[in-house]
Chains A and B, each alone.
Chain A
Amino acid sequence: QSVLTQPPSVSAAPGQKVTISCSGSSSNIGNNYVSWYQQLPGTAPKLLIYDNNKRPSGIPDRFSGSKSGTSATLGITGLQTGDEADYYCGTWDSSLSAVVFGGGTKLTVV
């Protein structure tokens, strides 16, 4: 059971927009920055969003992040088939003194 809760799967059509939620508590999301990762099959996670809403160099602005209270959201616009992947949220949990991740959300572009 993951500390952060994500929906197991989401789907949308090419060109559309999708959002992925990540729910936590005051000991993690509520008081720490959130990051988001994309993992394509058989590859290492790739950082998409850090510090709630910042994008590393090279990440297109189709990807966005936001946080409100103890929840965070990843948004992806202009969906492409290449966006099909697993997406994970992550943060620090001050009570556990540990890095925590969500269980992951599988995005299908159909």
Chain B
Amino acid sequence: QVQLVQSGAEVKKPGASVKVSCKASGYTFTNYGTSWVRQAPGQGLEWVGWISGYNGNTNYAQKFQGRVTMTTDTSTSTAYMELRSLRSDDTAVYYCARDDSSTSREFWGQGTLVTVSS
């Protein structure tokens, strides 16, 4: 069965960086892209960006360009999202999801809480 398992919760200080991992299993990783979506406390879903599992091409939401880097390790079927220059409003649960198309994602990770606090 398809599973996406994310790394554990993180607490960071403003200005620091965080790198979240998402290990996929149950499907051919290189056949699908991975999207990252975040959800601030009490707020809605916000797309951060996407990375191709096939060739590593990326597409970042304009809001995060210059601060986010997404990578993959196809040998371990793992996607990574690094967010730099963290601010308090980056505090959120970050989800990875398998891209079934540009418009839908059926399989999601369990989420990783990133807390930014001094």
Contact = CB atoms under 8 A, between A and B. Distances in A.
- To the question of whether A and B form a pair in one complex, the answer is yes
Interface of A: 2, 32-35, 37, 44-47, 50-51, 56, 88, 90-92, 96-104
Contacts of B47: 98-101
A83 B111 CA distance: 21
Contact of B102 (A2, A37, A45, A99): A99
Interface string B44-61: 111100100000000101
Given A33-B101, A47-B104, A98-B61, 8 more contacts: A35-B103, A37-B45, A44-B109, A45-B37, A47-B106, A50-B101, A99-B47, A101-B47
Contacts of A97: 59
B78 to A, nearest CB: 18
Identify which of A45, A90, A99 gathers the most chain B CB atoms within 10 Å of its CB.
A99
A102 B45 CA distance: 8
Contacts of A99: 35, 37, 47, 50, 102-103
18 contacts: A2-B44, A32-B102, A32-B103, A33-B101, A34-B103, A35-B103, A45-B45, A45-B105, A50-B104, A51-B104, A88-B44, A90-B104, A92-B102, A99-B47, A101-B44, A101-B45, A101-B47, A103-B44
Contact of A50 (B61, B95, B103, B108): B103
Nearest to B102: A92
Interface of B: 35, 37, 44-47, 50, 59, 61-62, 95, 97, 100-106, 108-111
Contacts of A34: 103
B79 to A, nearest CB: 15
Contact of B111 (A44, A88, A101, A104): A44
A11 B58 CA distance: 40
A35 to B, nearest CB: 4
A52 to B, nearest CB: 9
Contacts of B59: 97-98
Contacts of A103: 44
